[in-house]
Copies of this chain bind each other. A is one copy, B any other.
Amino acid sequence: MRVSFSETDIPLPVYADIISAAKRLKGKARRTPLLESKLLNDQLGGRLLIKPECLQLGGAFKFRGAYNAIEQLVQHGASGVAAYSSGNHAQGVALAASMLGVEAVIVMPKDAPKAKIENTRGFGAEVVLYDRYFEVREEIGEKIATERGLELVRPYDNADVIAGQGTVGLEIIEDVKEMGLALDAVVAPVGGGGLVAGMALAMGKLSPRTQIWGVEPQGFDDTRLSIKSGARMPHGEGESSICDSLLANIPGELTFALNHELLHDIVTVSDQEVLHAMHHAFHYLKVVSEPGGATALAAVLAGKVQLKGKTVCAVISGGNVDGEIFKRALESS
């Protein structure tokens, strides 16, 4: 049922794959609610709904895609999986593998947030650390998978992972319809682009008038640049960002193919805007957001995605943050 696309001829996920993913995830993933703050709405002059995937198992939306992919690998006989990840996909894969009773080996950068490394180990995975300035994680991950007979679960360039992330969009639309609302836009953080691609697939079918916005950290706007130029390209060099979960160097092949077609626009946010958004999530919504997780909210608060007179849903994609960074958010205005 899948259509092929692009340079790679890898089959792209379609809407039906999201429905299948939702069935696999039922009773396994957490169905996160939609949150909203009257005080924030009054300030902003619109209706801002928040999808808090920080409350998802493993503290990020990543569990959805990981479970959806690994469940199918296990059905086909896999006894273990390998992955590379800055931390959230790591935790999602580790937790899903442990729930499905298979081994997981995860390649993570040495300088990932402590909480992410500890939690990945806590879920029972073997963690292999690498130096992200001198080593290539894809190569290490592929080598480990081959040597140890494990299935590699890529963090975003995997149709089943994208379909799993798409269930975020499915739930948003279900809840918004139950509230009797029409959604003008959804806004999601973009690292490799799997979340926003999956959501765009769901929205395109269920709520075609809803604009899909992606948000990248300033200086790490490879998806924005790629869409603009019409071909996958890396972001510039030399920048730094506190958004550890969104530092992918170049869009995935599958995610680029989808996002290029389906996204309305991509904007970028600064570290300061992100800290401000984390503080707002703390104060108005009572949820813990990590820097990368707060970028969509940051874009709305900074007026980069129009909210006035509209109904917009922003995804807080994860909450795995160390206390030191969170303190900086509390100190930001």
Separation of A288 and B305 alpha carbons in the complex (Å):
26
Q: A38 with B323: in contact, given A30-B33, A115-B283 (CB under 8 Å)?
A: no
Q: Which residues of B contact A54 (CB under 8 A)?
A: 286
**Contact present for A55 and B35 (CB under 8 Å):** yes
Residue of B nearest to A58 (CB): B38
> Is the CB of A130 closer than 8 A to any CB of chain B?
no
Give per-residue flags for A49-61: 1 if the beta carbon is below 8 A from chain B beta carbons, else 0: 0001011010100
Separation of A323 and B32 alpha carbons in the complex (Å):
25
Q: Closest Cβ of chain B: how far from A2's Cβ, in Å? A: 33
Q: Which residues of B contact A288 (CB under 8 A)?
A: 282, 286-288
Give per-residue flags for A301-333: 1 if the beta carbon is below 8 A from chain B beta carbons, else 0: 000000000000000000100010011001100
Residue of B nearest to A293 (CB): B286
Q: Which residues of B contact A296 (CB under 8 A)?
A: none
Give per-residue flags for A94-125: 1 if the beta carbon is below 8 A from chain B beta carbons, else 0: 01001000000000000000010001001100
Q: Which residues of B contact A59 (CB under 8 A)?
A: 286
> Is the CB of A42 closer than 8 A to any CB of chain B?
yes
> Is the CB of A39 closer than 8 A to any CB of chain B?
yes
Q: A323's contact among B33, B55, B287, B331, by CB below 8 Å, is which?
A: B331
Q: Which residues of B contact A38 (CB under 8 A)?
A: 57, 95, 98, 123
Q: A330's contact among B52, B279, B327, by CB below 8 Å, is which?
A: B327
Residue of B nearest to A286 (CB): B319
**Contact present for B286 and A122 (CB under 8 Å):** no
**Contact present for B323 and A330 (CB under 8 Å):** yes
Residue of B nearest to A316 (CB): B286
Give per-residue flags for A265-296: 1 if the beta carbon is below 8 A from chain B beta carbons, else 0: 00000000000000100110111100000000
> Is the CB of A31 closer than 8 A to any CB of chain B?
yes
10 contacts between A and B (CB under 8 A): A30-B35, A31-B33, A38-B57, A38-B123, A39-B119, A39-B123, A282-B288, A283-B323, A326-B330, A327-B330
List 8 tightest A-B contacts by C-beta distance, closest first: A286-B319, A323-B330, A286-B288, A54-B286, A39-B122, A282-B288, A327-B327, A59-B286
